Every structure is written in structure tokens, then in C-alpha cells.
């Protein structure tokens, strides 16, 4: 069985030095719960930072101790923590990925430290690895690490999960180090996000910045397919639904919460102190509610828990001061000896205090300005398992809003909407509260943190297997040697080659890919060999093929098999007509008018709309718009619609490359056949070939070909070996 190697910034254990003694504490968060719930039969190791330990003797002791627990420490210096963690991670990536670009600090020393610490992690990780391991890297602190591991282990399976939002392309592109971050992430085989929007933003950035186009969330990166997908993180549902508590956890604060809940209705707000959480906006909205609804005075209190965070950073100091001021003003204006509108606590709660507050609160107000997921919202819902009473007001900017659709979803910047949501929540009938809670609880029970971890890992295993299968289909050196030998010893050969994407790389201008000198020389050598029948089978029109390659003297199958040139003469199948073209052309002309940069290519018996020069997403939007219109028209006119690489072509039905190539296959008894092509129209050629033929797909897409090559350059290298 493969081992699972988990890598995160922090280990599930944090070590602190207190009174000259190293004390071990469990790290906060649901990540450890989820990853510890993975199949117990699997061998797991976890690599990460254990806390600030700088003396070598103590580091060795910690290393030996953690090894017994399946943990491997990465030790960081004080400077590392300051520049890499507090610096680049939390003053560059954190604000930038949460859309607070005004707080992004562009400092080269932060970036250098980020690279250096990712390399420190790699230096610890790489000696631990074996070829068949499954590696899972976590979060924004380690976005360069996948590529570093890939460089040392080209075939190892690497997953990466981002626990915060991935910003839109327009935000991400501002980062000076955007390409390096993308290259680091794309070292992984699988990249996971909480929501579809984060996934969509990443794919857009990968295309617009690095040029990687995706096909249903899969990117071809070198000789690998990278799967980009959505894996919403859940919680340990049972931990909050049925908390295991003992008498020792009963504190005075727990008793106070219980007494307060008997006296009035509670609205809770629980956050770490952070500008992404929208705490000032929440206090202002509650103040507006108090001001406009005197009927709730003395009946409702907002219990606001703000957990201290980065208290030495100026932005956080200013944020705390603002929250303190807003809460103080509201309490001083409307409070009395018997009622305080906001019960404000600047500290963390223990587990019993937290679950008591969840259980007794009538409303939870979770309104971040931007949040990757927000597990507090899910914990609140789970805590209502028994009493089925409570309402969740949730920001639509939190990842959890994609799952918790039965919550009252609000825009966290809209004070009026939050005020209305508070009234709706406080006045919601009990049967509606129960119905909404039960819907959400059913989802959270099923899609808990264990489900999240196991789903990610299962998908990575499947990907690992498919990558292995794909690698076996690559036409490697050994197979190429066999192919060249078979070619050299054959007496009668058929060589079928596509043009665009096979012999020449794509270009935004279809007329810009005139064959170069090397290609002309290579094709001439193939054609001049009297034992060869050479056919270029392309979607290109016959005039262009004749102009570019005609002097060489090979045969052609042009316009996807509409025209064939055999023995110097062009011919076409009987019964073809072009009478339908004016009707289709009018549809495409309308498309060009609305899509500057796109254009129509007209052939004798087909017509194509190209969108190579425009934004890919806009092109695909236009394709979706007119796809149904085309299908309706083509069904009545006996036509076929072909969707290729940034082109849509309409031609007569019943004509394809495979049928065309049968004319050559039936000409002779070949003892060597090779066919190479890159897009789905070439699949008809592959299917027409006998089993013994060498059929080769350019790229890693699913194919009926026997083998794959990865690029035009590899195709040319192979053909050079044939003519050598």
C-alpha cells in the first residue's frame, strides 16, 4: 500500500517552551481531525513546523520524540517566521487572496524568505519520500513546494489543497510573483478548492498567465494531466452535535452563558480578529437594528467573541480599536444597568463554552467580507442537532454559503439587508427553523471532514492510476526504437499525418503556420521514398494545402475528408452540395459582428468560425449561444458540426477523415502503417486503422490511438528518425 505523506505549515502538535520545559499541545483546527480519519490501514507521516525551537539539542530531542508519532518537524528560525510566515504568507498572500489588496505588502525580502522556507520544507520532505507515496500539501504557506518535490520525484503523486479563497484573475495578476506561484502549484497532480468559483478563478489564471488551457478542469502540464476540482471541507459533525463533556469543564463562564440565555435571546458572533471577517460592519448593522427596533431592547443581546490574532500588527491594532469603539458607543448609548446590547469578549473560548454558546444561541451572525469556507457556521448548525432551534445568518462571501443554502444569506456590506435578516431570524417560526436546520444538518452529516479527506485522497488515487496508464501509452524510447525498426524493414508503408497541432504548432492566425524548411525537407524525404505512400489528412482547405505542400507531391485528404488528392488528381465523394452555406454563413456573420477578433473561414464544402484571437471564455460563451441554433439548422440540412481547437466547423454529414483514409488503406497490403493526429477529428482515422497500425495521438487526451506523444516537437523528432 502507498504511504500518505501530509505536509502543512504546522504539525497537528505545537511545542512551546515553558519554564525550560517543552510542552506539547494539540494544534487547533479541523485539519488534523480530517486527516487522522483517513483509512487507518494506511501508513501516514506528517511533516510541518512544530513551533519555535532553535537549540540544536532540543531539536534532536523533539525530532526523536515526534518520529514515534509519525511526525517529522521542519525547524524555522525566528527570522524565517517573521519574513516567511508573518511576512509573505500573512502580509502578501492572505490580504491579496481575500481581495484586500490595499493591505498587500510587496517586499522582495518577504518573497525571498517564502522561497527559502519552501525550499527548507522540500529539503526535509524529499529524503522522506518513496516513489509510490501519495503526497498531500496544504495551504497558502507552501504553494511553491509541489514543484520542488516534482523536480526530485517526477513520477510521484502530489496533491495540493488551498484552504483560503483563490482570487479572480484580475486580482491575482497584480502579484509580481504570479507566474512562480502558478508554476509551484502546477507541480501537483491534483489541486483542490472549497468552491467552484475558486477553482474557476485558478483555471482562468493558469490560462491567461501561463497559457495552460483546461478541458473539464484538467490541464496538460508537460507529460502530466493536472486535475483541478472542488472539495468543500466539512467538520467533525458528531463532535459538535453530541459533545463529550465532563464535570471538570463546567466553568463559571458556562454557567453565565446558560443564565444569560434564560434571561434574553442571544445572537452570537464568533471570529478571529481579522479584517476579512467584517466585524465592524456587523457591529454597525446590529447598532442600526437596535436603533430602529426598540421593541427588542432588553430582549436581545449580541454575544461577540473576538479571538486575539496578530495583536502586534498595526492593521490589527487599528481594527481592534475600531471594534472596541463601535461596541462601546452602542453600549453607552442604549445600555442600562439591566441590559447591555453587546456582550463583547476579546478572548478565545474553551470547547464547552463554545458549544454551550452554539447550543443556546437563537441566531448566529456569521458575516465575513471574504472567507475560504468558515467552519464556525457549520459548527453552529451541528450544535443544533438536538433542539432544532436556531437561525444562521451567513455572508454570501463565505465558501460555506455554497452548501448552507437554507441559511439567511446576506451581502456583508449591506447594513439594511443584515438588519432585515436579524428581524427575519428573530421572528422566524419554530417549524421553519427546524426545517431549515434539518436540511443543513443532513448535508453536514454526510459531507463531514472525513468525507472531505477521503474524497480528496480517493480522487488522487484514481488520478495516480490513470497517470500510470497514460505513461504506459507514451511512445517512449523503447517503443520508438521498435517503431523505427519496423519502418526500416517494411517494404510497403502508409504514412498519414495531420497538419495543425501535429506537424506545426497552432497560431492565432491560421495562415501564419506555413511549413518551415525543416518540415518541407522531412516531408520531401518521406515522399521520395518509393516504398512510402504519404498522406497529409487535414481540416485545411485544398487550396492552402496545395499551395504549401503541393510541390512535394504527396497525397491529401483535405477539409476533413471532403476532398482527396490521389495520384495528382483532386476528387470528392458524390452527392456533396454547398447550397446550405448561405444560411449558415448568415448565422456566423452575426457572430463575427458581435465578437471582434473572430473570423469566418470558408471552404468549398464547409465553413468555419475561428476564435483563436479572442478571449477563450468569450469564445466558448458564443459557442454555447449558437450551438443549439446550429444543431437545429444542421439536422434539417444533413450537416455535421465539428468543435475543434478554438474553431467550430460545419460540413456535410457522413464525411470524415476516417472514411477518406479508407481509400488509401484499400489500395495496397501495407506491412507498416502509421497515423498521427492531435484532435478529435483524427479519432475517425485511428478507428479506421487496422490493429497492427501505429496510431499516435499528440497530447494526453483520451484517445483510440495506441500511443501518445506530447508535442509537435516530439512528432518531428520521431519523423526525423524515420528519414535518417
Just list the catalytic residues.
Answer: 498
The DSSP letter of residue 563 is: E
Q: And the C-alpha cell for 115?
A: 522561497
| Residue pair 243/413 in contact by the 8 Å Cβ criterion | no
User: What's the burial of 626, exposed, middle or buried (CB within 10 Å: 0-12/13-18/19+)?
Assistant: middle
Question: Which residues, 6+ apart, have CB-to-CB distance to 687 below 8 Å?
Answer: 658, 704
Sequence-separated contacts (24+) of 58-67 with Cβ below 8 Å: 58/17, 58/22, 61/22, 62/15, 62/22, 66/11, 66/13
From the centroid of its chain, how far is CA 192? 5
**CA-CA distance, 459 to 395, in Å (whole number)?**
30
Spell out the alpha helix ranges (H) of 89-177: 94-97, 108-128, 145-152, 169-172
Given the DSSP bridges, would you call strands 214-215 and 190-193 parallel, antiparallel or unpaired?
unpaired
The C-alpha atoms of residue 506 and residue 570 are separated, in whole angstroms, by 26
Tell me phi and psi for residue 515, to 5 degrees.
Answer: -60, 135
Instruction: Determine contact, residues 576/560, Cβ cutoff 8 Å.
Output: no
**342-345 and 606-610: which strand pairing?**
unpaired
Unique residue bearing C-alpha cell 497584480 = 174
Which backbone phi and psi does 200 adopt, to 5 degrees? -60, -40
Rounded-to-integer distance, Cα 240 and Cα 639, Å: 60
Amino acid at each position: 500500500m502507498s504511504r500518505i505523506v501530509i505536509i502543512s505549515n504546522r504539525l497537528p502538535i505545537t511545542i512551546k517552551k515553558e519554564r525550560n520545559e517543552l510542552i506539547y499541545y494539540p494544534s487547533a483546527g479541523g485539519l488534523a481531525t480530517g486527516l487522522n480519519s483517513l483509512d487507518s490501514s494506511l501508513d501516514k507521516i506528517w511533516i510541518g513546523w512544530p513551533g519555535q525551537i532553535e537549540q540544536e539539542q532540543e531539536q534532536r530531542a523533539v525530532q526523536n520524540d515526534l518520529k514515534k508519532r509519525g511526525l517529522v518537524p521542519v525547524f524555522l528560525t525566528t527570522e524565517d517566521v517573521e519574513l516567511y510566515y508573518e511576512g509573505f504568507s500573512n502580509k502578501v498572500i492572505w490580504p491579496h487572496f481575500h481581495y484586500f489588496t490595499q493591505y498587500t505588502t510587496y517586499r522582495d525580502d518577504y518573497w525571498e524568505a517564502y522561497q527559502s522556507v519552501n525550499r527548507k520544507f522540500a529539503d526535509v520532505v524529499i529524503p522522506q519520500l518513496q516513489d509510490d507515496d501519495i503526497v498531500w500539501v496544504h495551504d497558502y504557506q507552501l504553494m511553491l513546494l509541489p514543484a520542488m518535490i516534482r523536480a526530485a520525484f517526477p513520477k510521484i503523486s502530489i496533491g495540493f489543497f488551498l484552504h483560503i479563497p483563490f482570487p479572480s484573475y484580475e486580482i491575482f495578476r497584480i502579484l509580481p510573483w504570479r507566474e512562480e506561484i502558478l508554476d509551484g502549484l502546477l507541480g501537483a497532480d491534483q489541486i483542490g478548492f472549497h468552491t467552484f468559483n475558486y477553482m474557476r478563478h485558478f483555471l482562468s489564471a493558469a490560462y491567461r498567465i501561463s497559457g495552460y488551457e483546461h478541458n473539464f478542469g484538467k490541464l496538460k502540464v508537460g507529460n502530466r494531466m493536472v486535475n483541478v476540482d472542488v472539495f468543500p471541507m466539512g467538520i467533525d459533525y458528531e463532535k459538535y452535535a453530541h459533545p463529550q463533556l465532563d464535570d471538570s469543564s463546567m466553568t463559571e463562564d458556562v454557567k453565565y452563558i446558560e443564565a444569560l440565555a434564560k434571561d434574553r435571546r442571544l445572537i452570537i458572533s464568533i471570529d478571529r480578529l481579522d479584517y476579512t471577517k467584517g466585524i465592524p460592519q456587523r457591529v454597525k448593522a446590529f447598532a442600526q437594528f437596535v436603533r430602529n427596533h426598540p421593541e427588542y431592547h432588553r430582549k436581545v443581546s449580541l454575544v461577540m467573541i473576538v479571538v486575539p490574532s496578530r495583536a502586534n500588527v498595526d492593521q490589527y491594532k487599528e481594527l481592534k480599536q475600531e471594534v472596541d469603539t463601535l461596541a462601546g458607543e452602542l453600549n453607552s448609548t442604549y445600555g442600562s444597568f439591566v441590559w447591555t446590547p453587546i456582550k463583547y469578549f476579546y478572548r478565545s473560548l474553551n470547547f464547552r463554552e463554545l458549544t454551550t454558546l452554539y447550543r443556546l444561541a437563537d441566531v448566529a451572525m456569521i458575516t465575513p467580507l471574504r472567507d475560504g469556507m468558515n467552519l464556525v457556521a457549520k459548527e453552529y448548525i451541528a450544535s443544533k442537532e438536538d433542539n432544532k432551534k436556531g437561525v444562521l445568518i451567513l455572508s454570501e462571501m463565505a465558501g460555506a454559503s455554497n452548501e448552507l443554502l437554507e441559511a439567511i444569506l446576506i451581502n456583508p456590506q449591506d447594513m439594511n439587508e443584515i438588519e432585515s435578516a436579524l428581524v427575519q431570524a428573530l421572528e422566524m417560526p419554530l417549524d421553519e427553523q427546524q426545517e431549515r436546520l434539518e436540511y443543513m444538518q443532513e448535508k453536514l452529516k454526510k459531507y463531514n471532514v472525513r468525507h472531505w479527506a477521503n474524497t480528496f485522497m480517493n480522487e488522487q488515487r484514481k488520478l495516480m492510476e490513470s497517470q500510470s496508464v497514460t505513461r504506459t501509452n507514451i511512445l517512449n524510447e523503447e517503443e520508438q526504437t521498435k517503431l523505427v525498426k519496423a519502418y526500416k524493414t517494411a517494404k510497403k508503408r502508409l504514412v498519414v499525418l495531420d497538419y495543425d497541432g501535429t506537424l506545426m504548432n497552432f497560431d492565432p492566425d491560421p495562415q501564419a503556420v506555413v511549413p518551415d524548411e525543416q518540415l518541407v525537407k522531412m516531408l520531401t524525404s518521406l515522399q521520395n521514398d518509393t516504398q512510402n505512400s504519404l498522406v497529409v489528412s487535414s481540416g485545411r482547405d485544398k487550396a492552402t494545402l496545395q499551395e504549401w505542400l503541393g510541390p512535394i507531391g504527396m497525397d491529401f485528404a483535405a477539409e476533413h475528408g471532403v476532398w482527396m488528392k490521389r495520384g495528382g488528381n483532386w476528387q470528392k465523394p458524390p452527392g456533396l452540395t454547398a447550397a446550405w452555406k448561405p444560411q449558415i454563413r448568415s448565422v456566423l456573420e452575426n457572430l463575427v459582428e458581435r465578437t471582434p477578433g473572430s473570423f469566418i473561414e470558408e471552404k468549398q464544402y464547409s465553413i468555419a468560425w475561428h476564435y483563436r484571437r479572442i478571449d477563450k471564455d468569450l469564445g466558448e460563451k458564443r459557442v454555447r449561444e449558437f450551438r443549439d441554433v446550429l444543431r437545429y439548422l444542421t439536422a434539417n440540412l444533413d450537416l455535421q458540426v465539428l468543435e475543434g481547437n478554438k474553431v467550430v466547423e460545419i460540413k456535410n454529414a457522413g464525411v470524415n477523415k476516417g472514411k477518406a483514409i479508407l481509400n488509401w488503406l484499400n489500395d495496397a497490403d501495407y506491412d507498416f502503417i502509421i497515423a498521427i493526429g492531435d484532435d478529435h477529428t483524427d479519432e475517425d482515422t485511428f478507428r479506421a486503422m487496422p490493429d497492427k497500425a501505429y496510431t499516435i495521438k499528440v497530447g494526453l487526451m483520451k484517445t483510440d490511438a495506441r500511443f501518445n506523444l506530447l508535442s509537435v516537437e516530439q512528432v518531428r523528432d520521431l519523423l526525423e528518425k524515420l528519414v535518417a
